[in-house]
Amino acid sequence: MTAKRDAPRACLLLAGMKERETEWLHAFSIQAPDMRIIHEDEIDAPENIDYCLIWRQRPGLLARLVRLKAVFSLGAGVDALLSDPSIPEWLPIIRMAEPGLTEGMVEYILWQTLFHHRRIWELIEAQRRKEWRPHNYPAPWDRRVGVMGLGVLGKAVALKLAAFGFSVSGWSRSAKEIPGVLCYNGRTELASFLETAEILICLLPLTVETRGILGARLFAQLPPGASLVNAARGAHLVEEDLLEALRVSHLSAATLDVFNEEPLPPTHPFWKHPRIFITPHNASITDPETAIAEICRQIARLEGGLAPEHTASRARDY
Ligand code: NDP
Ligand code: OXD
């Protein structure tokens, strides 16, 4: 880890970081030694705090910080911050967009795409039965993968899958041009996007428009035998619709990293489902080293009178 001698002299509050706090405090002390870092239980002078880096926020906390210039979200998804009415509307909310988080997601989705492409679960099940059962699978270019959301993460994922050789399409709100990726946008093009998506990857933000989007209606538009990978938010998925689509074998399998209730309760039917593969909301993790470099860059922009980048928009809801 390298020290950033040009890191700005600001006062930054770390809030809602839980078990990751020690790691972050250490990283700030090395990379931004001139920055004053305050812990949320030690706020003696709220009027001295310039910035806040936050994950699971305590409602109302930010309203007390009268000098706050911007809020940094520890994660890329800002649904929880945008739904906190106590955060003043004028306060910039900066989404986490940093190379460590992006690369982690690219790696996770490539892993899961290969898992579903090769139907690895069939091999695992055969091994348990001590059965030697080679099965066929298409070449990557004959496998059509659909990426929902072509933002910071979805675009990087789509480019990697295309470079790997998969036949990739993507869907976003506004029109896009991404080399090697067939791009669709808006509700009117959703059906055309879905009808070829044999492996569907969700990397959408959670908004009023996208809540519950992974439901019976959408599943019916996927080709029979399709797989789902949801690494966005649990509330994108209608859980009972997934169970039904798997029961009737319209969908083959699903990988879920995110859930309506986290941690997933021990009694939840997903745990024991033979075709649902669970990871505990760690598809990707913000990397303190690369993220602090990005936070310092954004603070330098703000202190220099420039608008921050990757800000959430209340009008768009992401
Ligand atoms: P971005 O805001 O950069 O990208 C969002 C994409 O979704 C954009 O392409 C946007 O379209 C598209 N989109 C938004 N609303 C709609 C809509 N109604 N219809 C179609 N497309 C829509 O977000 P990121 O890529 O940085 O992150 C995506 C999500 O991934 C996060 O919100 C978070 O929930 C999740 N995440 C999960 C992690 C995990 O470990 N499981 C880790 C990190 C993130 P347009 O380009 O036109 O704006
Ligand atoms: C994020 C997440 O939004 O980890 O970054 O879920």
pLDDT computed for residue 65 by the predictor: 93
CA of 67 to the centre of ligand 2 (A): 27
What is the enclosing helix (H) or strand (E) of 164? helix 152-164
pLDDT tens digits, residue range 211-263? 999 999 999 999 999 999 999 999 999 999 999 999 999 999 999 999 999 99
Q: How confident is the model at residue 182 (pLDDT cuts 50, 70, 90)?
A: very high
CA of 232 to the centre of ligand 2 (A): 8
Residue 107: which of 297, 237, 285 has the closest Cα?
285
The set of residues, in sequence order, having a beta carbon less than 8 Å from that of 232 and lying 6+ positions away, is: 77, 148, 149, 202, 203, 204, 205, 206, 258
| Whole-Å CA distances, 316 to 10, 176, 251 | 30, 17, 31
CA of 76 to the centre of ligand 2 (A): 5
Residue with tokens 């070449």: 139
Mean pLDDT (the chain) is 95
Q: How confident is the model at residue 56 (pLDDT cuts 50, 70, 90)?
A: confident
The set of residues, in sequence order, having a beta carbon less than 8 Å from that of 305 and lying 6+ positions away, is: none
Residue with the smallest CA separation from ligand 2 atom 4 is 75
- Long-range Cβ contacts of 90-93 (<8 Å, 24+ apart): 91/62, 92/302, 92/308, 92/311, 93/311, 93/312
Identify which of 20, 101, 102, 256 to mutate to test ligand 2's pocket (most ligand atoms within 8 A of the CB). Answer: 101
Decide if pLDDT at 157 tops 60. Answer: yes
Task: Give CA torsion, residues 69, 75, 80, 85, to 10 deg.
Answer: 0
Which atom of ligand 2 is the closest one to the Cα of 77? 3
pLDDT computed for residue 7 by the predictor: 58
Q: Which of 233, 236, 247, 314 is catalytic?
A: 233
CA of 75 to the centre of ligand 2 (A): 4
Strand partners, 38: 13
Task: Tell whether ligand 2 has an atom less than 6 A from the beta carbon of residue 75.
Answer: yes
Mean pLDDT of 130-156: 98
Q: Is 233 one of the catalytic residues?
A: yes
Q: How many CB atoms lie within 10 A of CB 268?
A: 16
Q: Are the C-beta atoms of residues 108 and 156 closer than 8 Å to each other?
A: no
Q: How confident is the model at residue 58 (pLDDT cuts 50, 70, 90)?
A: confident
Task: Tell whether ligand 1 has an atom less than 6 A from the beta carbon of residue 203.
Answer: yes
pLDDT computed for residue 10 by the predictor: 95
Residue with the smallest CA separation from ligand 1 atom 3 is 151
Question: Which ligand has an atom closest to residue 149 CA?
Answer: 1
Residue with the smallest CA separation from ligand 2 atom 3 is 77
Decide if pLDDT at 4 tops 80. Answer: no
Residue with the smallest CA separation from ligand 1 atom 48 is 173
pLDDT computed for residue 30 by the predictor: 96
Residue with tokens 């910071």: 152
Helical H segments across 85-136, by residue range = 99-117, 120-128
Q: How confident is the model at residue 1 (pLDDT cuts 50, 70, 90)?
A: low
Task: Tell whether ligand 1 has an atom less than 6 A from the beta carbon of residue 173.
Answer: yes
pLDDT tens digits, residue range 294-304? 999 999 999 99
Identify which of 284, 285, 294, 318 to mutate to test ligand 2's pocket (most ligand atoms within 8 A of the CB). Answer: 284
Decide if pLDDT at 307 tops 60. Answer: yes
Q: Are the C-beta atoms of residues 184 and 192 closer than 8 Å to each other?
A: yes
What's CA 200's distance to the chain center, in Å? 15
pLDDT tens digits, residue range 14-39? 999 888 999 999 999 999 999 999 99
| Whole-Å CA distances, 191 to 110, 146, 219, 242 | 24, 12, 11, 18
Mean pLDDT of 106-127: 98
pLDDT computed for residue 21 by the predictor: 92
pLDDT computed for residue 279 by the predictor: 98
pLDDT tens digits, residue range 59-95? 888 988 999 999 999 999 999 999 999 898 999 999 9
CA of 16 to the centre of ligand 2 (A): 14
Nearest-5° Cα angle at 211, 152 to 228: 70
CA of 77 to the centre of ligand 1 (A): 7
Q: Are the C-beta atoms of residues 170 and 150 closer than 8 Å to each other?
A: yes
Whole-angstrom Cα distance, residue 161 to residue 113? 8
Whole-angstrom Cα distance, residue 51 to residue 204? 27
pLDDT computed for residue 6 by the predictor: 57
pLDDT computed for residue 9 by the predictor: 84
Q: Which of 116, 117, 173, 281 is catalytic?
A: 281
